Amino acid sequence: MSVLKLMPSALAGRKLATIGFLWLVLVLLAAVFAGVIAPFDPLELDPVNRLAEPGWPHLFGTDHFGRDTFSRALYGARMTVIIGVGSVVVALLSGGLIGMLSAYFTKLGHFLMRGVDVLMAFPALLMALVLITLLERSVANTIIVIGIVYATTTARILYGMTLKLKNEVFVDAAVCSGASHRSILFRHILPNLISPLLVQASFIFAFAQLQAAALDFLGLGLPPEVPSWGNMLSEERIYLTRAPWLLLYPGLLIILSVFSMNLVGDALRDNIDPRFKDDISGV
Partner 1 sequence: MTEAILSIRDLKTHFQTQAAGFLGEKKVIKAVDGVSFDIAPGEVLSLVGESGCGKSTVGRTLTHLEKSTAGQALFDGQDILTLSPAQFRPLRRDIQMIFQDPFASLNPRLTIEQTLGEPLFIHGLAKNWAEARVLIAETLDLVGMAPEVMTRHPHEFSGGQRQRIGIARVMILKPKLVIADEAVSALDVSIQAQVLNLIKKLQRDSGISMLFISHDLGVVRHISDRVAVMYQGEIVEMGTKHEIFENPQHAYTRKLLSAIPRIKTRQVNA
177 makes contact with partner 1 (CB under 8 A): yes
Write down the least CB distance from residue 165 to partner 1, Å.
10
**Closer CB to partner 1, 46 or 168, in the complex:** 168
186 makes contact with partner 1 (CB under 8 A): no
d(CA 192, CA 140): 31
41 makes contact with partner 1 (CB under 8 A): no
183 makes contact with partner 1 (CB under 8 A): yes
Site for partner 1 in 189-228 (CB under 8 A): 191-192
**Size of the chain, expressed as the number of residues it contains:** 283
User: 39-55 as b/e, with b when 16 or more CB fall inside 10 Å?
Assistant: ebebeeebeebebbebe
Out of 169, 182, 241, 274, the only residue in the binding site for partner 1 (CB under 8 A) is 169
User: 195-213 as b/e, with b when 16 or more CB fall inside 10 Å?
Assistant: bbbbbbbbbbbbbbbbbbb
Which long-range contacts link 234-237 to residues 24+ away (Cβ below 8 Å)?
Answer: 235/63, 235/64, 236/63, 236/64
Task: List the one residue out of 46, 73, 42, 68 whose CA is nearest residue 57.
Answer: 68
Out of 37, 93, 140, 175, the only residue in the binding site for partner 1 (CB under 8 A) is 175
Taking CA atoms, 77 is separated from 15, 29, 250, in Å, by: 24, 9, 10
107 makes contact with partner 1 (CB under 8 A): no
Write down the least CB distance from residue 193 to partner 1, Å.
10
168 makes contact with partner 1 (CB under 8 A): yes
163 makes contact with partner 1 (CB under 8 A): no
Which residues contact partner 1 (rule: CB under 8 A)? 168-170, 172-180, 183, 187-188, 191-192
